[in-house]
Structure 1
Amino acid sequence: MMKPRWYLPLSENLSAALSIGTAPDVVRLSRYEVAAILYVLQLPKLPVRSPLEMERVFANLLTHHSDKLRSALAGAYSQVDFEAGLLQASAVEIGLMDKESVARRQYIHPEGTWNFDYAKQHTASLGAIKHEHVRLSGLVVKLSDHQLRLVQNIRANMEDSIDAQAHAGTGKSFVLNEILALMPERRILFLADVEPKLKPIRARFSEDQVWAVTFRWIATRLLAGGNRALEKKLDAISRLPLSYSALAEKAGINPIGNRNAARVAALCWSVIAKFCFSNDARITLSHIPSDQVRWLSTSEQKIVAAAAGKLWFKMTSFEEEADPLPVRGYHRVKQLALSRLHLPESIDTVIVDEGHDLSGPMVDILDRSPQTVITLGDQFQNLQGRYMPHNARIRHREMAISLRAGPALVDYINPLLAEFPDVSALPFVADKAKDTVVAEYRADSFPPEPSVVLVADEWGIFDWLIRNRDLSKGAAVIDWTNQFEPFLEGCLDFYMHDKRPSHGAIARFRSWEQLHAEMRWNDAFLRVEQWLEVVGTKFGVSGLYQCAKLAELADGKPSRPLLATVFTVKNYEFPRMAVSEDLYYFADLRSKTELSKKLALLYTAITRSSGKIYFPDTHQERIATILSAKSLKARPLSLLHLNV
C-alpha cells in the first residue's frame, strides 16, 4: 500500500479487534471512533472519488450528534461489512492511526471541525528531521536526532578529531555543511576522492576559508615541495593513458613463463595497486593477486614481485623522463605516505567526505598530521572489504537514521549489517515518513517497468545485454568512461583468437581457460561464456551495446532500463531501481575480506533506493545462502543455475 492520503481516527489495534469478532463498545468509544467505524461500514457502497472528496464525506459525518452516531452504529454494525470496508480503505489510500494519535485528537480543530491538514502534519511528525539547530549566524535548520548529536558534539569539542560512522542516506553531505558552518574562523582542508564532490563546497565557501581538493591533488602538491614545474609535470603524468604493452616496453618488463611482456605488465600493475592500498613498506609476494598465485611457480612469483618493484621505482622517480609512465592518484598517496610528509601546518582542520574509502596510507597520513581531522563515512560501503579505521584516540560517533529510505527496507538491510565481520554499529533505522516500495521481478527477466538495474561487475552487464537482445527492452549502459564496449570486443577476441585483452578486468589472464577457472563460480560469466560459444562466435558483439546519457539518469525514473555497476553509481540514489541477481554470486566467503566485500556490495546497492526497489525473486534463497556461507567453500557446480 502507498502512503495514505488521509487518516481515519480509528486505531489499528481497535480495527484488528473488530476484525476478529469483538463487538464495538458504542458507549465507551469516542464520537470520532464511532464515526470512523460507521464510515468504514459504508465505504464499499460509496462511489470512489478523489481523496479530498472522500475525506469531505467523513467530515460531514462528524457534524451529526453523538447520540445519533452511536444509535446508527448499534443498529448497523456487521463484522463482514467492517472487514470489507477495511480492504476498501486500503485500496483508496485511507489510513488508520495509532492509539496515541487517536487520543491526542490533533485531527480536530479547537472549534470542533475536521482538520484537513492532519495527514500532512501527521506525516511530518513521523519524519526523522524534527530537531532545530541554530547556526552561529542565527539561522535555524532542522536535523535528525543523530545529525544533531554529531553537530553538537563537534561544537563542544572543536579541537578533537572525530570519525563518524554514518549509514547510507543519513544525510552526510548536509551535516558536512553544518560542520563547516561551525568553523567560520578556521582554515579548512576539505578532501574527497573525486572532483564532483568538491563543487558544492567550492560554490558555498571561499577558498580563503575552505581549500577543497582531491587526495590526488594534495599528494601531488606535497610531493612537489613547492616546485610548480614539478607539480605541473606530475599532474600531467596522472592523465596519461594506460597501455600495458607500452608499459612493458618503457619499463623493460620481459615475458615470464607463457605470459608475454604486456600480460606481465598488467599483472605488475595489479601487484602495485594491492601494495598501494596497504601500509607495507615494500612490494613482496603477498601483493600478487590471489587469483593469480596458483598460476605462477614460486620462482615466477619472485620474478613478478621483482618486476613490480622495478616498475614502481620507475613510476615514482622524479628524474627527467622523456616518455614518463602513467601514475594514478592512489600511487601518489602511497608515495606521500612512504615519504613521511604531512599536511601543511597552515591548515587548522581537515574534513573528509566518504571516509570509508580512505586507503591505509591516507589514514596514516591523516593520523600523524597535527590538524583536527573529521571524517564522515560508512564502513559498510567499502566495496573492497578493506575499511581502514582511524587511530583509537579519535572520537567515534554514529548516524543510523536514514533520511532516504522508508521502513520497508529495514528487514533487507539489518541482516546484512549484523553479519559484517569484526564490526559493531547501530542498526539501520528508516524514516517513517518515507515511502519505500519493495517489489519482485523474475531473476531471468526484466523488472516490469524501466529501472536502473545495479549489477556487480562487467560480467553482470554483459549478461543483461544478452538478455536485452533476446527480450528487446532497449537497455543501455551507464558507462562514463566509455570502457565497456572495448570490454565486449576484448572478450570476444580473447575467447575466439586468444588475442591479448587490454581491458583491466581481464588483462592479467594469460588464457580464456585460466579466466574460466577463476570465474566458474559466477553464473553471469558462465551464461556469457555459453553465449559466446553459441552466438558470439557466429555474429559477434556488435549491436549489444548502447551507452546511456547522463540526462537519462538525472531523475532516477528512466524511460528504458539502465545498467550500471554498483561502483559506478555508489554516490547516487534512485526513485526506481532493481537489484541484479549477480550481486549475490560468490566463490568463497570464509575470508573476512571476501565476506565484507559481498555484504558491502549488497548493502550499497540496496541503500541507493529512495522510492521503489525491485529484488530478484530468488532474493530470499540467495541471501540465506550468503548468510550461511561463512563455513562453506565455493558452491559445487551442480548448484549453479545456468539459465541460458
Structure 2
Amino acid sequence: FNSKQLNDGVLLCPEVPIVLLSIEKIQEKDYLKEDGSWNWSFKDQEQSDFLPSRSLNRYSKTTTKTSMEEERVINTILSEQDEPITIQGYAGTGKTWIITQLSEALNKETTLFLAENTVQTKTITDRTPESTALTFAYIAGIKLSVNSVGSMRHIWRRYNSKQTVTDKKLAEYLQCHAIGNYNREMVAQKARYVVFQYCLSDDAKITLKHIQAAYFKGTEYWHQEALLSIAETLWGLICIPREKIELPVYGYHLVKALALTSEGIPGNYLHKGVLRDCTHIIVDEMHDLSPSVHQILHHSSQPVFRFGDYYQALKGLTTPIGSPPTLRKKTLSHSVRAGANTEKLYNNILEKHPIKPEVDFEGSRTKSTQVIHCKMNKIPDEYCTILTKDIWPILLIIHSLHSKNAKYHIMESAKRELKWLINDAIAFYKTGQSPRHHALKNHASWNDFIAKNTNKIPSLLEIDSLIRSGLDFGELENFLNDSPKTTPNSYVVGRVWDSRNSEYEKVRIWDDLSESPRFSNESPAKTVSHVYTGISRAKHKLYIPERMLERFEDF
C-alpha cells in the first residue's frame, strides 16, 4: 500500500471527474436498503444535478435537462410571460444558461436582449445567433433619434465619432476660469466627472452629490456652485451642440437623455433596416446597471426579465437596486460549477456583505473543488488563471513569469489598461510628462504619486523599484508580448473585472484581493464582491492566500 499514490489519486478525482461521498453521506447509508442490500438507484440519485425539463422540452425536439431550481424559474417565467420578474442568482447557478434556453422558448423575433456593452451582447448572440441583442445606449439612441421625446441632436454622427476633446479645449468651449486651487483644465476635467456621475444617477438635476468628494476639500460653497454651473453648461452642449462646438456623445449620455424623458424601451424599433416589434425584454448582469438604466426599464411597458447577482457588483452595492418591492422575485442558490465542499468558504465571505443573503450558497453535490492555501506572492507551479483586484500587480506577475520563460496570456482588457498605465508611469518618472491615465492624474510628480499611494497599493514599492531600475517602453512591450489566448499549457493573467462571465479549471486568487478593507480604504461591499466573484470563477481547483479568511474578520 502506497499512501502517497492514494493521496495523488484522490487529488485527481475532481478533474476526471470522480466525486467521493462526504462523511455525512456515508453515515446516512442511503446506498443501502432497509434489509442491508445495495440500493442500485442511489448512484442515479447522486450522479446528476439535472433532470429532464418539462417546461423546456415542450418547445424542443431534443431532451433538455435542468436543475430543480432552474426548472422552477423557467416554469415561472414561461407560465406567466406577461409578468416581469427579478432573478437573484449566485455565481455559477445557471443564469446565463437559463437566458439561452428562454431565447428558444420565447418568440425570437419579438424578444429583445439588452446589455450594458457590446462584449455582453456578443456573448448572447454567440450562444443564440438568431436572437437580437443590443446595448442600452444603442436602443436609447434609436428612441431619441426617431422620436421627438428628447432634446439630443445629431446623435449618430457624434456617437460614432472617434473625436476626443482635451481638457484644454473643453475649457475653451465652456469659457470657464480657474476656481480656487484648480486651473481651467482641471475645472473642465471636474465638470466631466460631475456630468458622468449625473448620467449614471436617476436624478432629474445636477446637484452637489455628483461632485467628486476630493473637490470639497479646500473649496468654499461658491466654488462648488460655480462647478455645478459649468457642469450644467457642459451637459447642455452635449445635448444640443452650438455652432462649431460639437462634443462627442457617449453611451451613458444617451441613456440619461432617454431616462429624463420618463419613457421606456420602444414597442418597435428599426434595426438593420428591419422594423421589429418588442414584446419581451431580457436583461443579464442587472447588478452592473446604473440607476438611469433601471429607470428606463421601470418605464417600459413590456415585461422585463432581470437576471443578476448583487454580490458580483464590483463597484460595491450596499442596497439592492432595480427591483421594485412589488416585482416578483426568484432566487438561484445551487451552483452547478463549484463543489459542495466550498459552501463554508462561500458563505463565510457572503455573510460579510452589507446586503445580507436571504439563502445560503449551495455547491454541487456531484462536483468537488479543491481549495489550496498558498504563500504570499507565490505563483502555482501548475498552469492556472491568476486573478488580481487591481491592475498594478499584473506587471509584477508577468515580470516574474517572463523571467522564468513561462508561457502566459494577459486578458485583453487588462492588457490594454496595463499598457496605457505603465507607459504613462514610465514617462511620468523619466520626463515628468503629464499622465493621461486616471490613476496618475492630479499628482505633481512620480515621487508625489508614490508617497501618497504606497499605503493604498502595496505592490507600488516593487513597481517603483522596477521603473527606477530602468524599465523602458521596449522592455514593457516584451512583457506584453504574450502567448495567444488559445495556447495550451499557459498561465492566464487578469483582474477579476476582466474575468466576469467566465469560468476556469484552476484559479489563483492574488494577494491584493485578501487585503482588509480597514487598510485599503475600500468599502466592505467592494472587497467582498471582488473576492466572491474571483473565487467563483474556479471549477476544479482554487488557490487562495493563506490568511485571506483571517483578514475578513476585520470587517
CA shift in 2, pair 1:254/1:136, >3 Å = farther
| Contact 1:250 1:325 (8 Å CA) reproduced | no
Deviations 1:227-248 (A, max 9, x none): 99945314314x4446444444
What's the secondary structure of 1:482's corresponding residue?
helix
Distance 1:144 1:374 in 2: 19
Give the drift of 1:323: 5.5
In the alignment, which residue of structure 1 is the partner of 2:101? 178
Structure 2 residue 329 is the aligned partner of structure 1 residue 396: yes
| Contact 1:440 1:617 (8 Å CA) reproduced | yes
For residue 566 of structure 1, the aligned residue among 473, 492, 496 is 496
In the alignment, which residue of structure 2 is the partner of 1:456? 389
In the alignment, which residue of structure 2 is the partner of 1:330? 252
| Contact 2:407 2:483 (8 Å CA) reproduced | no
In the alignment, which residue of structure 2 is the partner of 1:236? 160
In the alignment, which residue of structure 2 is the partner of 1:164? 87
For residue 357 of structure 1, the aligned residue among 288, 291, 302 is 288
Q: TM-score, normalised by structure 1?
A: 0.72
| Contact 1:438 1:612 (8 Å CA) reproduced | yes
| Contact 1:240 1:327 (8 Å CA) reproduced | no
Deviations 1:426-484 (A, max 9, x none): 21111121231211322123222232211112223244356557766565532337232
Structure 2 residue 544 is the aligned partner of structure 1 residue 615: yes
| Contact 2:384 2:492 (8 Å CA) reproduced | yes
| Contact 2:93 2:332 (8 Å CA) reproduced | yes
In the alignment, which residue of structure 1 is the partner of 2:50? 129
Deviations 1:349-404 (A, max 9, x none): 11111111121011111112211111111111111123523211210101111111
In the alignment, which residue of structure 1 is the partner of 2:132? 211
Distance 2:302 2:423 in 1: 49
CA shift in 2, pair 1:310/1:198, >3 Å = same
Structure 2 residue 423 is the aligned partner of structure 1 residue 489: yes
CA shift in 2, pair 1:214/1:323, >3 Å = same
For residue 436 of structure 1, the aligned residue among 369, 373, 376 is 369
| Contact 1:452 1:574 (8 Å CA) reproduced | yes
Deviates more, 1:563-572 or 1:581-590: 581-590
| Number of residue pairs matched by the alignment | 526
Give the drift of 1:88: 9.8
Distance 1:103 1:332 in 2: 64
Letter in 1 for 2:322: P
Kindly report which structure 2 residues correspond to 1:41-190, keeping only aligned pairs within 5 A, or say none: 44=1, 98=26, 99-104=28-33, 122=43, 125-133=46-54, 134-139=56-61, 140-184=63-107, 187-190=110-113
Distance 1:141 1:551 in 2: 35
| Contact 2:516 2:552 (8 Å CA) reproduced | no
Structure 2 residue 514 is the aligned partner of structure 1 residue 584: yes
| Contact 1:165 1:398 (8 Å CA) reproduced | yes
Distance 1:379 1:267 in 2: 30
Distance 1:350 1:173 in 2: 15
Q: Which has the higher Rg, Structure 1 or Structure 2?
A: 1
In the alignment, which residue of structure 2 is the partner of 1:278? 201
Q: Which runs of 5+ in 2 are unaligned?
A: 269-277
In the alignment, which residue of structure 2 is the partner of 1:344? 266
Deviations 1:97-156 (A, max 9, x none): 735343159xx999xxxx9xx9xx938734322353343335431111111110111122
Give the drift of 1:260: 4.2
CA shift in 2, pair 1:365/1:172, >3 Å = same
CA shift in 2, pair 1:610/1:290, >3 Å = farther
Give the drift of 1:330: 1.9
Distance 1:159 1:240 in 2: 43
| Contact 2:159 2:250 (8 Å CA) reproduced | no
In the alignment, which residue of structure 2 is the partner of 1:4? none
What's the secondary structure of 1:181's corresponding residue?
helix
CA shift in 2, pair 1:458/1:213, >3 Å = same
CA shift in 2, pair 1:444/1:162, >3 Å = same
Deviations 1:399-425 (A, max 9, x none): 111111112322221112212214433
In the alignment, which residue of structure 1 is the partner of 2:271? none
| Contact 2:392 2:418 (8 Å CA) reproduced | no
In the alignment, which residue of structure 2 is the partner of 1:606? 535
Kindly report which structure 2 residues correspond to 1:199-598, keeping only aligned pairs within 5 A, or say none: 199=122, 201-202=124-125, 210-225=131-146, 230-237=154-161, 239-241=162-164, 243-294=166-217, 296-317=219-240, 319=241, 322=244, 324-346=246-268, 347-386=278-317, 388-465=321-398, 477-480=410-413, 482-495=416-429, 497-509=431-443, 515=449, 519-528=453-462, 531-532=463-464, 534-542=465-473, 543-544=475-476, 546-547=479-480, 551-552=484-485, 554=486, 558-559=489-490, 561-585=491-515, 588=518, 594-598=523-527
Give the drift of 1:331: 2.3
Give the drift of 1:493: 3.5
Letter in 2 for 1:351: I
Letter in 2 for 1:364: Q
Letter in 1 for 2:32: A
Distance 1:206 1:586 in 2: 44
CA shift in 2, pair 1:198/1:293, >3 Å = same
What's the secondary structure of 2:534's corresponding residue?
helix
Letter in 1 for 2:506: R
What's the secondary structure of 1:599's corresponding residue?
helix
Distance 2:169 2:50 in 1: 55
Give the drift of 1:538: 4.5
Distance 1:579 1:569 in 2: 12
Deviations 1:198-253 (A, max 9, x none): 3464467687xx5321111111111112599945314314x444644444444445
| Contact 1:188 1:349 (8 Å CA) reproduced | yes
The sequence identity of aligned pairs, in percent, is: 24
CA shift in 2, pair 1:170/1:589, >3 Å = farther
Deviates more, 1:446-455 or 1:225-234: 225-234
Distance 1:452 1:91 in 2: 19
Distance 1:391 1:590 in 2: 33
Distance 2:376 2:84 in 1: 46
Give the drift of 1:337: 0.7
CA shift in 2, pair 1:565/1:204, >3 Å = closer
| Contact 1:170 1:402 (8 Å CA) reproduced | yes
What's the secondary structure of 2:336's corresponding residue?
coil
Deviations 1:476-503 (A, max 9, x none): 5323372322211222333455432101
| Contact 2:159 2:248 (8 Å CA) reproduced | no
Distance 1:91 1:582 in 2: 27
In the alignment, which residue of structure 2 is the partner of 1:61? none
Deviations 1:262-319 (A, max 9, x none): 44333333332222222222222222223454364544433333333322222232x3
In the alignment, which residue of structure 1 is the partner of 2:275? none
Distance 2:12 2:82 in 1: 55
